[in-house]
Amino acid sequence: MPAGVVIGYDGSPAASAAIDAGALLFPDSHAWVTHLWMPPLASEALRHRLRTRARDANEFMEMIEQEGRREAERLAAMGVVLARAAGWDAEPLVQRTWGAEGLRLAQTTEQVQADLAIVGSRGLGGTRAVLGSVSDMVVHYTARPVVVIPHPLLADEYASLARGPVLVCWDGSSGAQTALDAAGRLFPGRDVLRVFVDEDGGVAPAPPAGEIPALHVERAGGTHARAVSDALTRCANEHSAAVLVVGSRKHSAAKETLLGSVALATLHHAHRPVMVVPLQ
């Protein structure tokens, strides 16, 4: 069954690339192309023109809001054109916000009961600068899986999107199991490979015979989350993975669990799409 996807779109190259990549990862899905706008959305030139037409301040603000909404609807429609061209059944969704765009996008994902959210991430290091950004807030606040797609993707990374395997960070915990279940549900027909991570530096339990193939990442005692995320990234490169999947637990900033730490580190440093799955 095709997935229901909320994808943030702001007209940027990163957002356009996220639509393209998302359609390869989740073909034939229904997409709500969501544009968040914050009044007043108007350029200085436009505001100057409106001042000459408005009779008073109230009418001026009404005109700014009208023009801002029109521009927001235009951008959302542009995203829908891109999404439909990529093969999605897409519709526009314009949401007004007064800030905290990531939280608003997370709320929207819940409101339409989408299966997941997709956001693009800009910057030289892909998601390296995601902390505090819209994508970071979506990951923190939504109860549904979130796929963060770095921009730009290299040619080989892009080629992996349509056919590459899905790698799931696995330590045997309930969070890892939730991530594995979500990967199997959202990527039907794909190879789903567990990347074994052992928090204590010992030998990770082997999967039962005939179960999904497993990769193994050795983790020496005391190694921090960055080292684990780097190992996951190397595995993704070696196996031409389409996406990395990590579980995320609710935690405080002062005390993070293994997968919570690894999820954040992988988001910040991976150069392939990362799907973060919250523990239900």
pLDDT in tens, the chain (280 residues): 789 999 999 899 999 999 999 999 999 999 999 998 876 655 666 677 777 777 787 777 777 777 778 888 999 999 999 999 999 999 999 988 776 778 889 999 999 999 999 998 854 333 333 334 777 778 888 889 999 999 899 999 999 999 999 999 887 788 889 999 999 999 998 999 888 765 544 444 555 554 545 555 555 554 567 777 888 888 889 889 999 999 886 544 433 444 557 787 788 888 899 999 997 6
Identify whether residues 9 and 145 lie together within a single domain. Answer: yes
Q: Which domain holds residue 46?
A: 4-150
126 & 171 share domain: no
Whether residue 187 is found in the same domain as residue 137: no
Domain identity same for 177 and 96: no
- Which residues have a Cβ under 8 Å from the Cβ of 33 and sit 6 or more positions away? 7, 9, 19, 76, 79, 80, 83, 90, 91, 92, 93
Residues 141, 9 within the same domain: yes
The two structure tokens encoding residue 257: 């669990």
The predicted pLDDT at position 41 comes to 55
Q: Could you tell me if 8 and 146 lie in one domain?
A: yes
Boundary residue ending a domain (150, 175, 203): 150
Structural domain count, the chain: 2
> pLDDT value at position 250?
53
Verify that 134 and 179 share a domain, yes or no.
Answer: no
Same domain, yes or no: 175 and 125: no
Residue 21, SS3 per DSSP = helix
The verdict on 162 and 204 lying in the same domain is yes
Are residue 39 and residue 139 in the same domain, yes or no?
yes
Q: Give CA–CA dist 10/97, Å, rounded.
A: 13
Whether residues 46 and 169 fall in one domain: no
Residue 23, pLDDT score: 97
Q: Are 126 and 14 in contact (CB under 8 A)?
A: no
Determine the pLDDT at residue 141.
Answer: 83
| CA distances from residue 261 to 38, 159, 181, 268 in whole angstroms, order as listed | 32, 29, 20, 11
Please give the order of strands across the beta sheet that includes 192-197: 89-96, 30-37, 4-8, 116-121, 146-150, 274-278, 243-248, 166-170, 192-197, 214-217
Please tell me whether residues 161 and 87 are part of one structural domain: no
CATH of the domain at 129: 3.40.50.620
